[in-house]
Amino acid sequence: MRDDAKSAPLSALERESIEYFISFVQLLGMPKSVGEIYGLLFAAAEAMPMDGVVSRLQISKGSASSGLALLRELGVVQRVYVEGDRRDYYETDLDVAHFADVFFRQRLQPRLENGAERLERMENCARAEIDERKPESEQEPEVKALARVRALRSWQRKGEKLLPFILKLLKK
C-alpha cells in the first residue's frame, strides 16, 4: 500500500503551469484545486490517472475526484483509455477556450437573463409608483427613478451585445 510522498516533485514548468491556471480559474470564480489539476495536466506530456494527480499535487482523493469531474463536465479534460490499466487516465487538449466559453455561458448568460427579467419588474414598479401619485404634483423622484431604470437597461443591452461577440472571438 504505497502512499504519499512517493511521487516526483513538480518540475519548474509544472509549477508555472499550475500557478498560471490557478489564477485563471480563480478569475472565473472556481476553486484553486481545479486550477491546480488543470495546470498539472496541461503541463504533462502524458495522460495521468487520478492517483497521479493526488500524489503529485498532494491533494485529497475527494478534491481530485470532484475537480476532475468538473473539468470533464466543462469539456476541458478528457478521460482516455490506457491498455492494461484499470484506472482512468485524464488529459487536456490544447483548447483552453472551452474554459472561458463555459464561463461566459454558465455565469454571464444566466445573469444577463435574470437581470433582464428583473429590469422588467423594476420598470413596472417605477411606473406604478408614478401612477399612484399622479394627483399630487410631487412626481419628481419617481420620474427620476424611471430614468434610472432606463439607463440601467441600456447597460444591460450593451452586455447582451457584448456576449455573443466574445463567444465568437473565442471560437478561433
Partner DNA sequence: CATTCTGTTCAAATTTTCTTGAACAAAATG
Partner DNA sequence: CATTTTGTTCAAGAAAATTTGAACAGAATG
Residues that bind its own copies (CB under 8 A): 11-13, 16-17, 19-20, 23-24, 27, 29, 42-43, 45-46, 94, 96-97, 100, 107-108, 111, 114-115, 118-119, 121-122, 125-126, 129, 140-142, 144-145, 147-149, 151-152, 155, 158-159, 161-162, 166, 169-170
Comparison of 1 and 45: residue with beta carbon closer to its own copies: 45
Residue 88 interface partner, choices its own copies, DNA, none, CB cut-off 5-8 Å depending on type: DNA
> How far apart are alpha carbons 108 and 112 in whole angstroms?
6
Neighbours of 70 (CB within 10 A): 18
> How far apart are alpha carbons 1 and 70 in whole angstroms?
28
CB of 115 to DNA, least distance (A): 19
Grid coordinates given for 22: 490557478
Residue 49 interface partner, choices DNA, its own copies, none, CB cut-off 5-8 Å depending on type: DNA
What radius of gyration, in Å, describes the C-alpha atoms of the chain?
Answer: 24
CB of 84 to DNA, least distance (A): 8
Reduced to 3 states (helix: H, G, I; strand: E, B; else coil), residue 91 is strand
Place of cell 510522498: 5
CB of 61 to its own copies, least distance (A): 26
Q: Which residues bind DNA (CB under 7 A)?
A: 1, 29-34, 49-51, 58-63, 65-69, 85-88
Reduced to 3 states (helix: H, G, I; strand: E, B; else coil), residue 78 is strand
Let me know how long the chain is.
Answer: 172
